[in-house]
Amino acid sequence: MSIPRITALLFICCSTASSFAQTDAEPRQWISLFNGENLDNWQIKFTGQSLGVNYRNTFRVVDGVLRVSYDNWNDFNGEFGHLFYDQVFSHYLLRVEYRFVGDQVVNGPAWAYRNNGLMLHSQDPATMTLDQEFPVSIEAQLLGGNGVDQRSTSNVCSPGTHWHRGDELISRHCTNSNSDTYHGDQWVTAEFEVYGNEYIVHRIEGVTVFELNNPQLDESDPDAQRLIQQGASILLKEGYVALQAESHPTEFRKIELLPLPIVEKTNRVF
């Protein structure tokens, strides 16, 4: 990412000019979370299954592509899956190239048609209950079009969490971005700029389509309550990155992460 682009980010989500003091000037390098060969450094959790069970061999690597595949499924009965990278991150740029392919598995929910997502600031998969459907996280929802209707991608959903838009607390489960619709099996590049508990920015094909700030646990949610009881902070400052298996085949050919310097807030006004 170029220096001007990073500089521009210092002013996003703001109604007045903002300034940040950099506290970490070490050189940064991209990390390929997906190595193109196998699922090393990834952990799998399906609803109703123990941690580590790759239910029906859904997550797999074929010809250098990470596939969420349903060719071993006859039907779907709420067995939502998540694939977690085994490292915690707080300040980073995440870039993925994804596409939807094929047909949704029989009995997959209508809303899950051409639906996947990146779970940001996710809870540790080892802390999920056996039958938990989704990890507590901020979900960057990835959606594909049906060939006719408008359907934005890089939306935000919030299992067990809330977030702010400016000073307004957003408690509804999903909020749409202002992205274009991407029909068919085309590859799409999505980026997510994450600065701890400060703010998160979504881009599709280089265009900013969503901005949020101050993600936090939803104190009324049972899964979040359990984390709080275990000592978790209300403010979501870091967590795991995960991708989903929600009943529609999906492919990822690139998943890479650039750690970003930790910055100090100075006179930031949303």
pLDDT at 238 over 80: yes
Q: What pLDDT does residue 45 have?
A: 98
Angle at 14 between CA 22 and CA 235, to 5 degrees: 70
Alpha carbon distance 233, 214 (integer Å): 13
Q: What is the mean pLDDT of the chain?
A: 90
Backbone angles phi, psi at 138, to 5 degrees: -100, 115
Alpha carbon distance 96, 140 (integer Å): 11
More confident residue, 174 or 27: 174
Q: What pLDDT does residue 73 have?
A: 98
pLDDT at 2 over 50: no
Alpha carbon distance 200, 139 (integer Å): 11
pLDDT at 20 over 60: no
- Write the CA distances from 98 to 43, 248, 251, integer angstroms: 19, 13, 6
Alpha carbon distance 226, 236 (integer Å): 15
pLDDT tens readout for residues 71-81: 999 999 999 99
Confidence of residue 266 (pLDDT cuts 50, 70, 90): very low
Q: Which of 256, 263, 262 is closest to 1 using CA atoms?
A: 256
More confident residue, 264 or 125: 125
* 26-35, 114-123, 203-212: range with lowest mean pLDDT: 26-35
Q: What pTM does this model have?
A: 0.88
* pLDDT more than 70, % of the chain: 87
